[in-house]
Structure 1
Amino acid sequence: MAIVTVFLLVIVAYLLGSIPTGYLLGKSLAGIDIREHGSGSTGATNVLRTIGKKSAIAVLLIDMLKGAIAVLLVKLIYAYSPIELLPTSWQLWLIVTVALVAILGHSKSVWLGFTGGKSVATSLGVLFVMNPLLALGTLGAFGITIAVSRIVSLSSIVGAISLNLLAIFVDGSLPYIIFAALAGGYVIFRHRSNIQRLLAGEEPKIGQTAK
């Protein structure tokens, strides 16, 4: 029963993460494939540049919610299941696994030929359920950087780096430290083309068009 439950939670997490919010809103509101515009990402930043602020906010919130629900399901099973479906010792590791799968699903959506966004919003969503302090600290680092630089990609990278420090000094649990390393590293990896543009001084700021 435990293995079946884990399998179902992982599948649900991936499918939740895979919901192509930016693509669906692009199609329904603007009649476009968002992947053919701007940076080609389905995330909120490209939606902002391509469709507009309201759509970008909707994508951001829904993409966060996808990750939050995936992790929340694990916590609800442990808190309210009338029978012991899962060993208590698995909880943190299962939360981390489900969170990582949801993040992967966002950037490698089965509905979009395994393409997608940069996984920033979904990462933030899982963090708010995993540990709100980690989420707020990461969001704070992102907010300070974007206020100074006006560059979303740089702010996302700084947030990913900050998450690793916060996981060590604020949370301290091994599963969450490993999560921070993997999720933060993956977000940075997803921004590798942005890093090249940052180094070349060509990364657009908010309000500018991606090259």
Structure 2
Amino acid sequence: MDITIKTLSGGEAGSVTLNDAIFGLEPREDILQRMVRYQLAKRQQGTHQTLGRAEIARTGAKLYKQKGTGRARHGSARAPQFRGGGKAHGPVSRSHAHDLPKKVRALALRHALSAKAKSGAILVIDDLTSAEGKTKATLSQFTGLGLTNALIIGGAEVNENFARSARNIPNIDVLPIQGINVYDILRRQTLVLSKAAVDALEERFK
């Protein structure tokens, strides 16, 4: 697949051939769904916690004698049925992460890239740099390119001025190539790759 390389100013800077093994697959929704579920589960903090009856700071004395009162037998005021008692079957701190094979994760990334390529939502930029690091200038360049909702992937290092100028623009995410992931690709309308990012992806999946 041949695609025209653009500059941030809107001009053309040649063309690049995208590898069909990475950008030319037929996207499978089931693989993408598994990967998104894996990512969202892994990012959950899992710090929700309630106090059970063993953790309540309350008297351990028996409420009243076992027999002769005509009332039900009770041995602890910490029991869940009493006001101030522990929570029965409440949430506990835990990890929500689950396993997904490494090959499936790699395949999901290729399917996400292919989905963007198939819908014509991939843009390749020759160089992601900003001389002044001004948000206004970068926003003007994005408007000229028609970018209102995009994930921008740079090389191994993202230009500091460019990252600073783009971080306050709504619906625009900027990541280095190491941070590319299925969830962020799918949640943004357009995928913008630098020429260095395309080379890094081809090197990664060769």
Same fold (TM over 0.5): no
Range class of TM-score, shorter chain: under 0.3
Bigger Rg, which one: 2
Structure that is richer in helix per residue = 1
Asked which structure has the greater RCO (Cα within 8 Å, sep 6+), the reply is: 2
Structure that is richer in strand per residue = 2
TM-score (norm 1): 0.24
